[in-house]
Amino acid sequence: MSLRVTTWFLWLVLVTLLPLPYFMIETGRIPAAQLFMYAALTAPLTFSDPGFTTRLIAGLFLSQALMYGALLYVGSRRVSRRVPAARRALAVLAIAALLGVLSLFNVYRAPLSHGPGTTNIVGVYR
């Protein structure tokens, strides 16, 4: 597996499955992909409802999503470069499998979509 493919695949796995803290009206732990989704949903509201609160919430979602996306890309690039070329595919598969199994347990806290308790990846997008 090439360095570029490994980096992007690992980034995609991390963005979709890694529980990351976010700070909003309420705090929680959700994947960066959901932060991107919230940013995409609140961005049009800044034009239809141009109040301070709407812009603040949209800005917080967007800034956190971009920050986590960039940090996860840098991290996945570092991991991809450190692993020898012969073992890159195995390393990415192991990380993806570990995060996939982890996401089936109640490790996420998504008060905006699920409620106050913990949930798994299915409950995050419910």
Instruction: Give the model confidence (pLDDT) of 70-99 as tens digits.
Output: 999 999 999 999 999 999 999 999 999 999
Q: Is pLDDT of 23 > 90?
A: no
Mean pLDDT of 101-111: 90
One-letter amino acid at 64 equals Q
Domain boundaries, the chain: 3-124
Mean pLDDT of 102-124: 84
Q: Is pLDDT of 68 > 90?
A: yes
Structure tokens at 100: 């996939």
Mean pLDDT of 51-56: 88
